[in-house]
Every structure is written in structure tokens, then in C-alpha cells.
Amino acid sequence: MSVQSVLETNRASGRGTLVGYFPAGYPTVEDSIDAFVALAENGCDILEVGVPYSDPVMDGLVIQKATEKALENGFKLDQLFEVIRGVRARVETPMLVMSYYNPVLRYGVQRFSEALKESGAQGMITPDLIPDEAGEWLESADLNDLDRVFLVAPSSSDDRVAANTSASRGFVYSVSTMGITGERAEVDKLAREVATRVRAVGKSPTCVGVGVSTGEQVRDVNSYADGAIVGTALIAAYEAGGLEALVEKTRELASGLG
């Protein structure tokens, strides 16, 4: 099932959507495969597979430490596709890779796209890329039938919201707060405004990330958007208590889906 069809099916049935982020290779390749499967089996409708990167400008401390650990343990970009294949062999949950663009450029955009398709991923989220500079990725995504997800932030101009929404396929990533990712005691009220702006310019689904960390917040986000994206809270749970704690946190978040 495609990313967009999951979002639309859940919305039509009155159920929210939970997108779970976890870094590939954290703390090891095999451990991350088990973590993704646990997310899928305990309430996550879509999996967001993070690519460890040495300069994660958008990521908060928890995610930074996790990706640094993966790199310290020898993670190489080729292993991203090993992780995706390992997860795909066990669950059918749609997967989107979340990657800064530099590793993709170094790997080769067409080669990366083909590897995404072959391994079983549905597409890619590119937090530091805008459609104006994404010609090769857009072309490769079309050739390989891959989703491409661009971000919209509270600071985005109307023209930028329109351009990123138009270029996105799968969903549009609405950033709820200015700044880096991480848990917030209260998901920024700007999230609702951003999601509303995205919906005003097109019919693309939009999911809200950055700051979502509780089942209550998952429920709130799904009341005005098509899905809630959670990363930091899941990684913090895993770091504190391993797979068992990750399962418990995923189920708590999923309790907000209705």
C-alpha cells in the first residue's frame, strides 16, 4: 500500500495516522531492523528511516546522539538498503527514507533512487532541499515511481508553500515549530496554521512533525492534519529501555489514533 493511500484510507475511516522515525543502523543494523518492525507491529502506519549523517543541522540532541552512535558503529550508506530490505521482508508498512541531500548527491541521485526502489522503500523526505534545486531527484523519483516529500515551515512564504506542496508526492511535511526537532510540552500552535496553509493550496495530505511526543498530541495533530510524525520520543524510549520500552512508547502514541 502506498503512503498516500494509507493516509487517505485512515482519514476516510476516522482513524488518525502515526509516522514513526528511527535511524537506520542505530545502534546496529540488525537492532534497527528489529526496532522498525516493532514500530510497525505496534501502531506505526508509516516508517521514516533516518540516514545517519555527520552534520544533522535539523536534528535535536537525542537524534544527533543516536545517529552519531550508528556512525561510530561503522554505519555506511549502503547499509541503509540492507535495513530497508530487512524490514520489508518482515512487514508491509510503507517506508520513507529521511535524508539530508548531500549523502544522496555523493552516492549518485539516480543510483540512490534505484536502490530505494529495489530495496522496497516508497520514497524520500529531504529536509534541506527545495524543489527549485531538486531537478535530478524529481526526475529520478518519477522514473522509479517514488514519493518525494518536501517540508513547509511557519516561516515559509505563500509561494514556497505552494511550490513545495505541488512538488510533493505522498504527503507534505508540515514543521510545527521553528528550530530543531525534539519533544515539546505543547506542540506549537503554529502547526495548525501550517497544515491549514498546505491544504489551502492543494489536495495533498500533510503530516505534522517536530515536537509530537504523546498520545494526546498525536490525537490533536490528527484532528487537523493527516498524520503525526514522532521521532525523538521513540528514540529516547529505546535508549532508556531497549526494544521493550520502544514497544510501550509506540503503543502509547498509537492510543491517540482513535
Known catalytic residue: 220? no
Report the C-alpha gap between 31 and 37 in whole angstroms.
10
Q: Among 31, 45, 59, 220, which one carries the catalytic annotation?
A: 59
> Which spans in 24-178 are helix H?
29-41, 61-72, 78-88, 101-107, 109-119, 135-143, 158-167
Known catalytic residue: 226? no
Q: Which of 133, 139, 137, 135 is nearest to 124 (CA)?
A: 137
Report the C-alpha gap between 258 and 256 in whole angstroms.
6
What letter represents residue 84's amino acid? I
Q: CA angle, corner 42, sides to 40 and 43, nearest 5?
A: 75
CB-based burial label for 130 (10 Å; 0-12, 13-18, 19+): middle
Instruction: Report residue 4 as a C-alpha cell.
Output: 498516500
Query: Within 10 A of 94 (CB to CB), how many other CB atoms are there?
Result: 24
Helix (H) or strand (E) holding 195: helix 190-201
Report the C-alpha gap between 110 and 90 in whole angstroms.
27
Report the C-alpha gap between 149 and 52 in whole angstroms.
18
Kindly state the DSSP code that residue 169 receives in the 8-state scheme: B
Q: Among 48, 183, 220, 252, which one carries the catalytic annotation?
A: 48
User: What is the distance in angstroms between the CA of the first residue and the CA of the last residue of the chain?
Assistant: 21
Instruction: Report the catalytic residues.
Output: 48, 59
